[in-house]
Amino acid sequence: MPFSFADYARERGVRFFLVSYTDLAGVQRAKLVPRAAMDAMAVSGAGFAGFATWLDMTPADPDMFAIPDPASLIQLPWNSEVAWVAADLVMSGLPLEQAPRTVLKRQLALAASRGFSVRTGVECEFFLLDAAASGAGDVRDQQAKPCYDQAAVMRNFQLIARLSDAMESLGWGPYQSDHEDANGQFEMNWHYADALVTADRHSFFKYMAKTLAEQAGLRATFMPKPFAHKSGNGCHVHLSLWDLAGANLMHHPQGPLGLSPTAYHAIGGLLHHALALCALTNPTVNSFKRLNAPMTTSGATWSPNAVSFTGNNRTHMIRIPDVDRFELRLGDGAANPYLLQAGIIAAVLDGIAQRRDPGPRHDNNMYTQPLPEGACKRLPANLLDAMRELRANAEFSAALGQDFVRSYLAIKMIEWNTNAAHISAYELTSTLDC
């Protein structure tokens, strides 16, 4: 029997459904559907003109339909009359190949066909700025080393507690919140889950944090590097593979740092495809001002600057903090929640299939004692370089889907060209007198 949105609405007092999807630029799009229309809409889908969003379509394309996935339903914690639901896009009766949630679901189906279930957790860093986004919303937040500042997190208690309580009520298992390494920056952590669940929650968390911050007279931003000399917004991903019976496949008591050969092959895949993966994990022009950044006023960028892995050391791209998982520290707050996971999983599955060797682990401090030239690859210098890496990586593109990669690069090229045409204040001051 199909899921009844009408019953759900009646039981919970919901009047409207926000049928939502995320486009290739990471923007969430939605239609607000009254409950009486929802069950019919769940079958036919909510209609959209795809060209009006970032999906690499034309005005001549037929209607695109968003089919809501009831497994993702979330009653808004701040407005119980509305429930948000993630949707899958179809056109002419077929899944839209370039739709981010579809791209992720395809990777998860591939993983399952090889006997893996993928569980991930994301660490969302964000700034709470004043309404004009001119600086930290808390004017007293001025320490040079503000990380974990007890007073600063408590001055924002009302909003942080509201977000944490909301996650608790939704069953996400929030377990800690803190002030992060830049003035005005925070991080909130909730429990890891199946990768699709994490991607839906990640999308919703961004929407919720922005909405509740706005209600508090603030502006939440996940922008990778809003301030040149402060730490940026990372989005670290912890990943573990499990067999379909629910046993962790990462741990091996005799393996280096307690990890299994499968885990090291997965790491090998991420190292092998890292440069192309950057086009997904670090998807904006601004992203590359967080990667490879010069030192910040706090003393560390907390961002990787090269393609390397390590043990429990936060200066490398991949960290092994425990015996049951690893952490990829590459991604940032601009990453599309679905493409972030899809890209990582594609690289991981390739690493396992090809039994890729990650090479030696490095335990140096990459900030003060970087590896010598040639010991590891450098990360792309900018978005265009990352896009070229993705375009040139036939294996990785094929794994993600050629149609998706073509559309994604087309959208990103518009962004690159728009930015390239822009004359910055820095250019003017540094070049006016040439």
Which residue number, 187 or 200, has a Cβ lying nearer to Mg ion?
187
Minimum CB separation of residue 9 from Mg ion in Å reads 38
Which residue number, 120 or 393, has a Cβ lying nearer to Mg ion?
120
DSSP for 96-118, written as a single string: -TT-HHHHHHHHHHHHHHTTEEE
Q: φ and ψ at 432, to 5 degrees?
A: -55, -40
Both structure tokens of 382? 């900018």
Minimum CB separation of residue 30 from Mg ion in Å reads 29
Which residue number, 148 or 157, has a Cβ lying nearer to Mg ion?
148
Which residue number, 126 or 172, has a Cβ lying nearer to Mg ion?
126
Minimum CB separation of residue 233 from Mg ion in Å reads 9
Minimum CB separation of residue 72 from Mg ion in Å reads 26
Which of 280-316 are b and which e, b meaning 16 or more Cβ less than 10 Å from the residue's Cβ? bbbbbbbbbbbbbbeebebebbbbbbbbbbbeebbbb
Pairing of strands 74-75, 185-190: unpaired
Minimum CB separation of residue 170 from Mg ion in Å reads 22
Return the SS3 of 224.
Answer: coil
Which residue number, 147 or 166, has a Cβ lying nearer to Mg ion?
147
- Residues of the shown chain interacting with Mg ion in the complex, contacts defined by CB under 5 A: 187
Which residue number, 77 or 232, has a Cβ lying nearer to Mg ion?
232
Minimum CB separation of residue 70 from Mg ion in Å reads 33
Q: Which residue, judged by CB position, is nearest to Mg ion in the bound state?
A: 187
Query: What is the Cα Rg of the chain in Å?
Result: 22
What is each CA distance from 91 to 14, 38, 39, 342, in whole angstroms?
29, 19, 19, 21
Minimum CB separation of residue 418 from Mg ion in Å reads 30
| Relative orientation angle of helices 261-281 and 402-420, to the nearest 10 degrees | 40
What is each CA distance from 207 to 45, 113, 163, 172, 189, in whole angstroms?
22, 33, 11, 15, 16
Minimum CB separation of residue 123 from Mg ion in Å reads 5
Decide: 347 and 272 in contact? Cβ < 8 Å: yes
Which residue number, 185 or 407, has a Cβ lying nearer to Mg ion?
185
HEC sequence for 60-78: CCCCEEEEECHHHCEECCC
Of 78, 75, 91, 77, nearest in space to 35 by CA? 75
Q: Which residues contact 333 (CB under 8 A, 6 or more apart)?
A: 124, 125, 126, 221, 222, 223, 224, 232, 233, 234, 235
Which residue number, 56 or 187, has a Cβ lying nearer to Mg ion?
187
